Structure 1
Amino acid sequence: MSEQKGLIPARYAPVLFGFLLSGLMSLIVSGIATLRATGLPPNFPAIWFQAWLPSWGVAFPTVLVVAPLVRRVVARLTLPPPAA
Structure 2
Amino acid sequence: MQHSSVYSLAGASVQSQVATQRQPRVVAGSRSLASMLPTILTTGLVSLVATAVLRLMWMGWGHDFVGAWMEAWLTVWPIAFPAAYISKPLINKLTRRLSKPVATEHALGATAIMQASEQATARSGLSRKPSMLPVHR
In the TM superposition, residue 75 of structure 1 has moved relative to its aligned partner by 0.4
Asked whether 1:33 is paired with 2:26, we answer no
Tell me which of 26, 45, 60 is aligned to 1:6: 26
Q: Which position in structure 2 is the counterpart of 1:74?
A: 95
Per-residue deviation, residues 56-83 of structure 1 (Å, max 9, x unmatched)? 0100101111111110111001137xxx
Q: What runs of 5+ residues in structure 2 fail to find an aligned partner?
A: 1-22, 102-137
**Greater relative CO (CA pairs within 8 A, separation 6+):** 1
Give the TM-score taking structure 2 as reference length: 0.51
CA RMSD, aligned part only? 2.3
Match for residue 118 of structure 2? none
* AA of the residue aligned to 2:44: G
In structure 1, list runs of 5 or more residues that go unmatched: none
Runs of 4+ in 1 over 2 A off after TM superposition: 7-14
User: Identity, % of aligned pairs?
Assistant: 31
Q: Deviations over 1:36-68 (max 9, x none)?
A: 110111221111000000100100101111111
Alignment coverage as a number of residue pairs: 80
Report the counterpart of residue 56 of structure 1 in structure 2: 77
